[in-house]
Amino acid sequence: MKKQLLIIGGGFAGFWSALSAIRQSRELKKENELEVTLVNMDEYLTIRPRLYEVSLEGLRVELNKYFKQLNIKLMIGKAEIINPEQKLVTVATESGSRILNYDYLILSSGSVLKAINIPGIEKTFNVDTFNGAQKLEDHLTKLAHKNFEGNGATTFIVAGSGLTGLEMVTVIKEKANKILTDQGKDSIDFKVVLIEKSDKVGNYYASEAQDYVIETLKAKDITVANGVYLKAVENNGATLSDGHFIASQTVISTIGLVASSLCNFFKGEKDKLGRLHVNEFLQLKEYNNVIAAGDVANIPTDDEGNSSLMACQFSMFLGKFAGHNAVNSLFSEPLKAYSYKDYVTCVDLGQQDGMLTSGWDRKLVASGIEGKNIKMEVTTKLIYPADDVITALEDSYPEVPNVAENAV
C-alpha cells in the first residue's frame, strides 16, 4: 500500500509542495511507495499578485502541465471537512462528495479577502480571486459600452490602502481606458478615491517610502479620504463612516486577507489572521502528520518577533520545505528547518512607477521606473514556475533562492 500524501490547495505553497515532494521521493528512491494527490478548486495555479493588472491574460498556469508528467494526482473540488483524528478529508466535487484518507497532510489552502459586515457588501468588487478580477473587468466593459454615462460611472472607489489598494488605485484608470480604447473609444479622465481608515496612507512603510507613496498618489490625482471607512454600499455609491456619500458605480474592496477557514479544523491557537502556528519544520504542534504552508501558516522568521507574511516570497519557499519535510517524515528521514532572511516588498504604482523596499522596517531601495522594472521582473517572471517540468522540479529544492534574494 502506497503512503498517501494529500495537499489541499494548488496556489504557490501547494504547487511547490507537490513538486518538492515528488523530487524528494525520487531522491530517497521511494517514488513507487508514495502517492501525491492535490485538491484544488480549479485547474490552475493563479498568479494572485497580478490580479489588479490592466490585463488578466497569462495570470493562470495549468497545474496538469506539471502534474501529469510527475504523477501528481489533481482532484478538482472543494475540501469541506477535515477530520485530523481519523486522517480524512471530505471533498465536494462535481460528481458528488468524496472522502480521501491521508498518511500525511499539507494544508495550503491560502487566504481570502476579509469579510466586512456592512449593508451592500455584495455590491463591492475585488481582485482576490481570478473570478473576482474577471467580474470587475466585465463590469468595466459593460460601463464602457455605455460610455461610462450615469451617476458615479466615472468614479472608482478603492477601500483599503495596503499594497493591493495602492496597486489598484494607481492602475484602475489605465485599465478602464484600455477597455475604452479596445472598443475604439476616447479615453476618459476618471476620478479615483482611496479610502483609508487610519490617519495616513502607507504607515507600514519607513518614512521616506511612505512619503514617496503619498507624493505619487498626489501626482496621479488620486483623492485620499483618511480616517474613514465604508459604512454602506449601494448600486450608485458608497456611504463613509463620517456620513459622506460618494457617487460611484465601482467600489472595490482591498481591506486585507485572512487565512482559509480550513485552519479551524485543527486544535491549537491561531494568530489574529486565523493562521496556524507551526514549528521550524512547518508541523502543527498537536499533529505529527500535518504541515501548514503558505498563507495559512505563521512561522517565526527571526528572534525579533517577526514572522512569515501572506506573500509569495514566503508561500513559495514554505511550499518547498513543506513537500520535502512531509516526504522525509513519511520515510523517517531528517527534516529541514525553515529559515528565511531578506524580506522585501515590491509595489506597482502605475505607469512608469513602482517601489522596492527592504527589511522589516520597509526602507526605500528603488522607486520610479527602476522600482517598476523590479516589480515586473518579480511578478511576471520570478514567481512563475519554469516553463519546462524538469527545471521546475530542480527549483523545488528548499535551498533554491527565493524571490526576495533574486529581487535585489
Ligand X SMILES: Cc1cc2nc3c(=O)[nH]c(=O)nc-3n(C[C@H](O)[C@H](O)[C@H](O)COP(=O)(O)OP(=O)(O)OC[C@H]3O[C@@H](n4cnc5c(N)ncnc54)[C@H](O)[C@@H]3O)c2cc1C
Tell whether residue 6 is a contact of ligand X (CB under 6 A): no
At its nearest, how many Å lie between ligand X and the CB of residue 47? 8
Tell me, what DSSP letter sits at residue 281?
T
Tell whether residue 262 is a contact of ligand X (CB under 6 A): yes
Tell whether residue 202 is a contact of ligand X (CB under 6 A): no
Tell whether residue 109 is a contact of ligand X (CB under 6 A): yes
**Beta strands 34-40 and 3-8: pairing type?**
parallel
Stretch that binds ligand X, among 104-112, 224-232, 243-251, 333-341 (CB under 6 A): 104-112
Q: Which amino acid is at 95?
A: S
Contact in structure between 77 and 92 (CB atoms under 8 Å): yes
Stretch that binds ligand X, among 6-14, 19-27, 269-277, 333-341 (CB under 6 A): 6-14
Say which residues have a Cβ less than 8 Å from residue 228's Cβ, sequence separation at least 6: 195, 196, 197, 240, 241, 242, 244
CA distance 147 to 188: 9
276 φψ region: left (φ > 0), alpha (ψ -120 to 50), beta (else):
beta
Looking at residues 130 to 189 of the shown chain, list those that interact with ligand X (rule: CB under 6 A): 163-164
Tell me, what DSSP letter sits at residue 32?
G
Looking at residues 292 to 321 of the shown chain, list those that interact with ligand X (rule: CB under 6 A): 294-295, 310-313, 315
CA distance 74 to 173: 38
C-alpha cell at 106: 499539507
Helix runs in 28-129, H state only = 64-70
Stretch that binds ligand X, among 5-13, 56-64, 205-213, 221-229 (CB under 6 A): 5-13
Closest residue to ligand X, judged by C-beta, is 11
Tell whether residue 209 is a contact of ligand X (CB under 6 A): no
Nearer to ligand X (CB atom), residue 23 or residue 48: 48
Looking at residues 111 to 130 of the shown chain, list those that interact with ligand X (rule: CB under 6 A): 111, 127-128
Residues of this chain that bind ligand X (CB under 6 A): 8-14, 39-41, 46, 48-49, 51-52, 78-79, 108-111, 127-128, 163-164, 260, 262, 294-295, 310-313, 315
